[in-house]
């Protein structure tokens, strides 16, 4: 069953196209990570999914329904953790829980209190006086309390210290193990999510560059390191068949990141170079991401 989907989605802000013909789907029980630099379009896609923004073209679906037309009924089964924790600053976590409990028939007050105790978040301190990490932990606890079918996390650990980030993802991992909740998240913390995501999408300038199972992605991306051989780095015989996405000449030789690695193709390249055969190393999700989108330049401001 498909829990979340976007089909040929486009979002415009005036003349600027923030999302361009984006399609993806998330099956029940999966953890999907949408990655992209600031300004790539991640937040625009999340807003369309949550019924906060109407797309210029295409459509978004949650549980097969249109969140723009049926937002209230759909969000009754969705937990949301926004990029910036947002709640009335004078309300305490205990008061927020009582308020939210009136909106959800399956509200788990005891579970929420247990989470806040694990996080060591004061339950009677006004939200506005909590640290950013504590605010994020409150938002996650509130999002999980109604036992949602779908959890949407919009970069929930952005700006948090390492301890707060670890607690958020630790709680998420526990939730997945206990309930198999479907998760859709955007994040900059690629190292933290690598061990829990099933599928990855990468956005760049509003275009979805890839949408693939993580294990498949990691199988086909490799870094090759060549000893000096005198040829032009970009014209290494046999390299083109491995679909290089980045090739650089180094002082010691050539380094290439390829996206079409397989043993048969690599064997042909290796046999053709004899003693100068390349070394192969696997790549982390973060290294694959940087190879696909390039390294970020100066800060680009708020995400779109």
Domain check: are 41 and 171 in the same one? yes
How far is Cα 278 from Cα 49, in angstroms, rounded to an integer? 45
Domain check: are 103 and 120 in the same one? yes
In angstroms, what CA-CA distances link 227 with 6, 37, 221, 275?
A: 45, 33, 20, 9
Structural domain boundaries, residue 244: 222-282
CB-based contacts of 183, cutoff 8 Å, min separation 6: 30, 31, 32, 150, 151, 152, 153, 172, 176
Does residue 287 belong to any structural domain of this protein?
Answer: no
Domain check: are 177 and 236 in the same one? no
Domain check: are 161 and 12 in the same one? yes
How much is the pTM? 0.88
The H or E element containing residue 246 is strand 244-250
Which of 169, 189, 214 lies at the terminal end of a domain, its last residue? Answer: 214
Does residue 74 belong to any structural domain of this protein?
Answer: yes
Does residue 72 belong to any structural domain of this protein?
Answer: yes
Domain check: are 33 and 112 in the same one? yes
Residue 195 has a pLDDT of 85
Which of 214, 246, 272 lies at the terminal end of a domain, its last residue? Answer: 214
64: three-class secondary structure by DSSP: coil
Domain check: are 230 and 202 in the same one? no
Which of 158, 180, 214 lies at the terminal end of a domain, its last residue? Answer: 214
Q: Indicate the number of domains in the chain.
A: 2
How far is Cα 297 from Cα 293, in angstroms, rounded to an integer? 11
How far is Cα 8 from Cα 20, in angstroms, rounded to an integer? 8
CB of 50 within 8 A of CB of 67?
Answer: yes
Residue 227 has a pLDDT of 72
CB-based contacts of 63, cutoff 8 Å, min separation 6: 3, 74, 77, 149, 150
Residue 231 has a pLDDT of 53
Q: What is the CATH number of the domain that holds 263?
A: 3.30.70
- Taking alpha carbons only, the member of 168, 188, 172 closest to residue 180 is 172
Does residue 303 belong to any structural domain of this protein?
Answer: no
Residue 238 has a pLDDT of 72
Does residue 299 belong to any structural domain of this protein?
Answer: no
Task: For CA atoms 181, 60, 101, 172, give the dihedral sign.
Answer: positive
pLDDT digits (tens, 9 = 90+) for 12-47: 999 999 999 999 999 999 999 999 998 899 999 999
Domain check: are 31 and 147 in the same one? yes
Q: What is the DSSP letter of 170?
A: H
Domain check: are 239 and 180 in the same one? no
Low-confidence ranges of the chain (pLDDT < 50): 275, 298-303
How far is Cα 161 from Cα 154, in angstroms, rounded to an integer? 17
CB of 160 within 8 A of CB of 83?
Answer: no
Domain check: are 160 and 242 in the same one? no
Domain check: are 264 and 164 in the same one? no
Does residue 61 belong to any structural domain of this protein?
Answer: yes
Domain check: are 134 and 195 in the same one? yes
Q: What is the CATH number of the domain that holds 18?
A: 3.40.50.300
Does residue 90 belong to any structural domain of this protein?
Answer: yes
């Amino acid at each position: 069953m498909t829990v979340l989907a976007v089909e040929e989605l486009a979002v415009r802000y005036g003349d600027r196209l923030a999302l361009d013909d984006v399609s993806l789907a998330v099956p029940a029980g999966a953890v999907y990570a949408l990655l992209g630099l600031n300004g790539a379009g991640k937040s625009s896609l999340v807003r369309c999914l949550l019924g906060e923004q109407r797309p210029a073209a295409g459509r978004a679906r949650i549980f097969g329904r249109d969140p723009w037309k049926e937002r209230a009924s759909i969000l009754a089964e969705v937990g949301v953790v926004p990029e910036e924790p947002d709640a009335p600053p004078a309300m305490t976590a205990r008061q927020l829980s009582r308020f939210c409990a009136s909106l959800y028939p399956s509200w788990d007050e005891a579970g929420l209190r247990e989470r806040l105790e694990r996080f060591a978040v004061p339950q009677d301190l006004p939200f506005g006086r909590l640290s950013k990490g504590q605010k994020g932990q409150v938002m996650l606890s509130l999002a999980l309390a109604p036992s949602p079918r779908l959890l949407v996390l919009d970069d929930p650990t952005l700006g948090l210290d390492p301890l707060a980030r670890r607690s958020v993802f630790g709680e998420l991992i526990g939730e997945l193990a206990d309930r198999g909740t479907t998760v859709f998240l955007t994040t900059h913390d690629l190292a933290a999510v690598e061990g829990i995501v099933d599928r990855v999408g990468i956005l760049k300038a509003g275009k979805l560059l890839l949408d693939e199972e993580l294990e498949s992605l990691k199988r086909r991306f490799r870094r090759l390191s060549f000893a000096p051989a005198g040829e032009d780095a970009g014209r290494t015989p046999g390299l083109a068949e491995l679909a290089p996405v980045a090739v650089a000449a180094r002082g010691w030789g050539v380094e290439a990141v390829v996206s079409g690695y397989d043993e048969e193709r690599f064997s042909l390249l290796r046999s053709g170079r004899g003693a100068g055969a390349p070394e192969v190393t696997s790549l982390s999700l973060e290294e694959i991401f940087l190879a696909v989108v390039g390294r970020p330049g100066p800060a680009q401001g708020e995400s779109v």
